[in-house]
Amino acid sequence: MSPERWQQIKAVLDAALERDVARRATFLAEVCQGDEALRREIDSLLAAERRVRGFLEPPLFTLLAETGAGGETSHRAAAAGRRRLERRRRSFLNDRKEDHETMIFMRSGSII
Amino acid sequence: MSQPPHDVTAVLRDWTDGDPEALGRLMPLVFDELRTIARRYLDRESPNHTLQPTALVNEVYLKLVGRRRVTWENRAQFFGFAAELMRRILVDHARGLRASKRGGGAPRISLEAGVDVAFRQDVDVVALDDALKDLAALDPRQAKIVELRFFTGLTNEEVAAALGISLTTVKREWRTARLWLYRELKRR
């Protein structure tokens, strides 16, 4: 796809999104007349519309107590940090039960 | 008040002017600051150590640049920088996790500052990064909007101010960029 083509697709997509779902087909039939590829592009992008809710919500950062002053790691501090992290992770998941299945939790591991 | 070890505003200016090495000079400063902030939060023993990226970046900004010199222009530059930095950190982190799962023994680039990341949806950051590169080739401004919103958690209003464009433009561009990216990620 070229940048120019994307600008064209974007303009039609925008105009379609501004319209009620019921009126889109007529609008697109008219605008995409003679350009079947354009119509297919728009249709496939519009198909995502109902599923993007919540997509690209910014991640949350959680902070760990695994680093001591000056960068040395104490095993006790690390264990306490992990317990705290686990509690936080659970409460985070409880808050968002619906996201439980899709939740990705990334650990940075121990830090020296 | 003691001066930061480097003149952060000057480095930011270099970065905005397109000096590719500016990012490298600023990165260690920001890492140090993240570590300090992490430690401070944990010392407070507060039950909730979860931070929005915006809050984290704001704290780092205030610590490095200071309140006295806070102008929006400055902040906008910093947020632009932070978005790029966060993107790099998260992508490196995800790649490291992926490599260690495969047992490849690749060096793990952890966040190193005692910072963990929790995604609210199942987002493949590496695939998103690739898709964003493709989007940047088609429409650099749209990619920038996504970067600012996703990686630093800016609101539409803040993105508009940071890029000097209207709120309506941000909303429109975000809406179509999101559809495009969603479709791209499903395809990959």
Residues of B in contact with A51 (CB under 8 A): 182
Q: What is the ipTM of this complex?
A: 0.73
Task: Report yes or no: B57 and A66 within 8 Å, Cβ to Cβ.
Answer: no
Q: Which of B115, B150, B181 sits opposite A61 (nearest CB)?
A: B115
Chain mean position to CA A43: 21
Q: What is the pLDDT of residues A37-95, one digit of tens each?
A: 999 999 999 999 988 888 988 877 665 544 433 344 445 555 665 566 566 555 554 54
Instruction: Please report the sign of the dihedral spanned by the C-alpha atoms of residue A12, residue A13, residue A15, residue A21.
Output: positive
Q: What is the pLDDT of residues B58-84, one digit of tens each?
A: 777 777 776 555 566 767 777 887 888
End-to-end CA distance of chain A: 46
- Torsion of the alpha carbons at B97, B100, B102 and B105, rounded to the nearest 10: 140
- Does B146 contact A56 at a Cβ distance shorter than 8 Å? yes
Structural domains in chain B, sorted by start: 1-118 (no CATH), 120-188 (1.10.10.10)
Chain B residues 120-159 with a CB less than 8 Å from chain A? 120-123, 137-139, 146, 149-153
Res A46: pLDDT: 96
User: Any idea what DSSP says for residue B123?
Assistant: -
Res B47: pLDDT: 47
Which residue ranges of chain B lie beneath pLDDT 70?
1-6, 31, 34-53, 56, 66-72, 74, 97, 100-118
Res A110: pLDDT: 27
User: Of the given ranges (A22-26, A33-37, A42-46, A105-109), which has the lowest mean pLDDT?
Assistant: A105-109
Residues of A in contact with B175 (CB under 8 A): 14, 17
**Residue type at B98 in one-letter notation:** R
A95 contacts chain B (CB < 8 A): no
Cα A102 from Cα B60, distance rounded (Å)? 30
Confidence of residue A12 (pLDDT cuts 50, 70, 90): very high
- Does A63 contact B118 at a Cβ distance shorter than 8 Å? no
Tokens of A65: 């107590």
Distance from the A44 Cα atom to the nearest Cα atom in chain B, whole angstroms: 8
Res B34: pLDDT: 67
Res B84: pLDDT: 81
Q: Where are the domains of chain A?
A: 3-51, 58-112
**Residue type at A106 in one-letter notation:** M
* Contacts for B89 with CB less than 8 Å, ≥ 6 apart: B109, B111
Residues of B in contact with A107 (CB under 8 A): 116
Res B179: pLDDT: 97
Chain mean position to CA B25: 16
* Contacts for B5 with CB less than 8 Å, ≥ 6 apart: B29
Res B75: pLDDT: 72
Residues of B in contact with A17 (CB under 8 A): 175-176
Greater pLDDT, A3 or B99: A3
Q: Which of A55, A58, A64 sits opposite B116 (nearest CB)?
A: A64
Task: Report yes or no: B3 and B84 within 8 Å, Cβ to Cβ.
Answer: no
Distance from the A92 Cα atom to the nearest Cα atom in chain B, whole angstroms: 9
Tokens of B183: 């479709």
Distance from the B78 Cα atom to the nearest Cα atom in chain A, whole angstroms: 18
Res B72: pLDDT: 64
Residue labelled with tokens 């993105």: B159
Residues of A in contact with B97 (CB under 8 A): 106
Greater pLDDT, B75 or A32: A32
Cα B37 from Cα B29, distance rounded (Å)? 12
**A34: phi > 0 → left, psi -120 to 50 → alpha, else beta; which?**
left
